[in-house]
A and B are shown apart, each in its own frame.
Chain A
């Protein structure tokens, strides 16, 4: 396994610009999650994909946010008209049934994240 890969590692943008992040999960992991982590806080759930289907979106994901996972492989997270409050680390995680813990719990494998700074 090569691990979860996220690109870019860092993104600096001006307020009002659109940005897109990419996540490549561990191959054969059918479950993919996006989390957001602000400074001094733990990650917060944003959205979940099972294969190509987006099954849940947090209310944190405003209309300016859109996530896709075409063909059930890599995923993209786009933020339109960025605001300074969008500045955060965006983490992607993947999992599969192979990594099942008791009672349907799973290990999540996280990428190193994309650090977004909105000026």
Chain B
């Protein structure tokens, strides 16, 4: 069975500094997709970044980058130049199954990030 583990319940970072949120995963599939979503206090989950298992380059989206280490089964999110608005819950997720069809996601327990001025 697939599983996502986020071992950091909470993280603190100073504004303008970089922060890494950890995510490890377990799957027997050869092809899989990894996602990071942000959940502000308003509740909606916001898509941040995606990494495919066959992608040779680490994914980047603006201030977000994904440190993908396939052999270690880790997909850590790096947020550069943290802003106060980055304070939120962050969830790592994996798509169950692969190929065509719908995207059923398995989520980790999340990491609460607090950005201090």
Residue ranges of A at the interface with B (Cβ–Cβ < 8 Å): 3-4, 31, 33, 40-45, 48, 50, 55-56, 89, 91, 93, 95, 101-113, 115
Contact = CB atoms under 8 A, between A and B. Distances in A.
Given A105-B52, A112-B42, A45 B98 contact: no
Range class of the B interface residue count: 20 to 34
- The dominant DSSP class at the B interface is loop
Contact of B43 (A45, A89, A101): A89
A49 B47 CA distance: 20
Contact of A109 (B31, B47, B54): B47
Given A101-B33, A105-B33, A31 B91 contact: no
26 contacts: A3-B44, A33-B102, A33-B104, A42-B4, A42-B91, A42-B93, A42-B107, A42-B108, A42-B110, A44-B107, A55-B102, A56-B102, A91-B45, A95-B102, A101-B50, A102-B50, A102-B55, A105-B95, A106-B102, A106-B103, A107-B47, A110-B45, A111-B44, A112-B44, A113-B44, A115-B43
